[in-house]
A = this chain, B = another copy of it.
Amino acid sequence: MELFKKHEQTLQKAIEANHHRGFFAQFPEHPSPAVYGETADADGLNAFESRLNQAYKGLEHSKATGWAGAEESPYSRQALGVTYPVFSLETLIDEAGAAGKIWKKVSTADRAALLVESLERVSKRFFEVAYATMHTTGQGYMMAFQASGPHAADRALEAIAEGYEQLSSVPQQVLWNKPAGKINLQMNKYWRAVPKGINLVIGCSTFPTWNSVPGIYAGLITGNPVIVKPHPMAILPIAIFVEELQQTFKAAGLPSNIVQLAIDTPQQLISKQLAEHKSVKIIDFTGNAVFGNYLEGIAGKTVFTEKTGVNSIILDSTEDLDKALGNLAFSVSLYSGQMCTAPQNIYIPAAGVGTPGGTVPFDEVVNRFAAAVKGLYENPKAGPFVLGAIQSEATHQRIQATAAAGAKVILPSVGIVNPQFPQARTASPLILELSSSEKQMYSAECFGPIVFIVKTKDTNESIRLASELAEQHGALSCGAYTTNPETKEAIIEAMTDAGTTLSFNLLGGVYVNQNAAFSDFHGTGGNPAANASFTNSEFISKRFTWVGYREPAA
């Protein structure tokens, strides 16, 4: 309970922030020496480098059957050489089961305090997490720091806070006192939040901590033991979170294996075996739609997915076309379009885009957009750092294949020279132009730096296509530019019905890709892109059941 006192105020602030949804952040997002210490960056780099070509011994490994790991840096194109303990399926399940029996008896307050404590411990290693993220995902330094460190920790805290609040929302005990004629019927009633069972969290290759920690912390706060199965090419960042969780549990006299890291080797993929195991009751997944749909279809599991989607921009009219196009150029370039919220389809009416100086013709809009993108990636002080590297060879090949598919190429994808990492796998955004009738080209997700300009009859067609694709194929974001209140209302109607988060008229330092903890829901659960939402009430409540017991009052 001492730990609870230490973190109570943080928890209360987080609960309030969840309700208010204005700005709140517990962990500073800037990798500033003033905040994190003069040597924090260098120390983090050193810690990262000293892990290379080593077995990762900080993780619980007493029952390991071997060590494996095959990560490779998209920047250096070299193997990281880090190996992680490998466990048998039986060991993972048995350890989770045994640890879960103890964890479920820990009070909500103590669970919350331990989980916040683990985040504070991780925060001391944010720079190490950042370098680990860069060299697995290809993210630029700033994004790697922010997304995998403070932003991920904030989303974890958001889940802890929502869980703490929900678990406190039903009384532990109450006297039920029912008038019944001359007497009162009196019952003591009690309720327990019963955890569902082992929570499997399957990570992705591009956001190994940001997309996984909400599920990990949601599973833990509700009393479930968690098995973290990272993407085989992006293990190190989340291994650091798991290590700190394990150390936190150990320091409190609890089993380390309340959370376990379960890595895949190419020789032995384990996601399906784990997911189908009868003791695994909850699954969090970020990744492709085929595997996500398979997971959602396993009977008797509670499954939270973030899958693929087709994100849209609707360009109707704007107060400042240059700023709008500059904002969009940044959005499609950031981490080379490898964000699940990055725009793919930009719908522009054939007649052009309205501005205060009159309508700008379609071709001019397209060309000015291409120029803005080119200007960004050709700027040596911005380009390499904003674009980062391409995480996988498959994404790199998809760019080539899409370029060759026959559409009009507005801007070809080229390699970007990264002065620090000459070997980096890089690619600037490919921009293609399509007619609205070529739906087969633009109706599926083309993951990576690929942008389709879709020429539409008018904005009504743009809205129809954006909402139809969101409903049919999913979408996690939609950006819209309009100065017409009626058009705006039509877009709100269509896209909210399609369960798609909307951003209007972004011109400055906020981008359609960004979803802030304690404010923006990430995913809505309202279209095929995701059946879950960070962090709505269901993201917590589906992980446990309220069970009551009662007895006549003495």
Residues on the B chain within 8 Å of A541, using CB: 536-538, 541
Partner of A549, one of B502, B546, B551: B502
The answer to whether A496 touches B23, judged by C-beta atoms less than 8 angstroms apart, is no
Given known contacts A176-B22, A510-B187, A537-B537, A547 and B524 CB-to-CB distance under 8 angstroms? yes
Partner of A526, one of B189, B194, B499: B194
User: Is the CB of A552 closer than 8 A to any CB of chain B?
Assistant: yes
The answer to whether A176 touches B21, judged by C-beta atoms less than 8 angstroms apart, is yes
Residues on the B chain within 8 Å of A550, using CB: 502-504, 520
Nearest CB in chain B to that of A501: its residue: B548
User: Is the CB of A166 closer than 8 A to any CB of chain B?
Assistant: yes
Query: Which A residues from 159 to 193 make CB contacts under 8 A with B?
Result: 166, 169-171, 174-180, 185, 187, 189, 191-192
User: Is the CB of A505 closer than 8 A to any CB of chain B?
Assistant: yes
Nearest CB in chain B to that of A520: its residue: B548
User: Is the CB of A521 closer than 8 A to any CB of chain B?
Assistant: yes
User: Is the CB of A396 closer than 8 A to any CB of chain B?
Assistant: no
The answer to whether B545 touches A526, judged by C-beta atoms less than 8 angstroms apart, is yes
User: Is the CB of A270 closer than 8 A to any CB of chain B?
Assistant: no
Size bracket, chain A contacts? 35 or more
Given known contacts A176-B22, A520-B189, A507 and B547 CB-to-CB distance under 8 angstroms? no
Residues on the B chain within 8 Å of A350, using CB: none
User: Is the CB of A509 closer than 8 A to any CB of chain B?
Assistant: yes
Given known contacts A187-B510, A192-B496, A541-B536, A547 and B501 CB-to-CB distance under 8 angstroms? yes
Q: How far is the CA of A166 from the CA of B536 in the complex (A)?
A: 11
Query: Which A residues from 363 to 409 make CB contacts under 8 A with B?
Result: none
Query: Which A residues from 400 to 454 make CB contacts under 8 A with B?
Result: none
Interface of chain A, main secondary structure: mixed
The answer to whether A548 touches B502, judged by C-beta atoms less than 8 angstroms apart, is yes
The answer to whether B177 touches A500, judged by C-beta atoms less than 8 angstroms apart, is no
Q: How far is the CB of A410 from chain B (nearest CB, A)?
A: 28
Q: How far is the CA of A58 from the CA of B281 in the complex (A)?
A: 47
The answer to whether B176 touches A526, judged by C-beta atoms less than 8 angstroms apart, is no
The answer to whether B536 touches A546, judged by C-beta atoms less than 8 angstroms apart, is yes
User: Is the CB of A57 closer than 8 A to any CB of chain B?
Assistant: no
User: Is the CB of A206 closer than 8 A to any CB of chain B?
Assistant: no
User: Is the CB of A20 closer than 8 A to any CB of chain B?
Assistant: yes
Q: How far is the CB of A554 from chain B (nearest CB, A)?
A: 10
The answer to whether B549 touches A21, judged by C-beta atoms less than 8 angstroms apart, is no
Residues on the B chain within 8 Å of A546, using CB: 521, 524, 533, 536
Between A and B, 14 residue pairs with Cβ closer than 8 Å are: A21-B170, A21-B174, A22-B176, A169-B537, A174-B519, A191-B521, A194-B496, A196-B526, A496-B549, A499-B547, A502-B549, A506-B552, A533-B545, A537-B537
Residue ranges of A at the interface with B (Cβ–Cβ < 8 Å):
19-23, 166, 169-171, 174-180, 185, 187, 189, 191-192, 194, 196, 297, 299, 492, 495-497, 499-510, 516, 519-521, 524-526, 533, 536-538, 541-542, 545-552
Q: Add 20 more A-B contacts to A502-B548, A536-B541 (CB < 8 A).
A: A20-B174, A22-B177, A23-B178, A185-B510, A194-B499, A194-B524, A495-B547, A501-B548, A501-B549, A502-B547, A502-B549, A504-B550, A504-B551, A520-B548, A533-B545, A533-B546, A537-B537, A538-B538, A538-B541, A541-B541
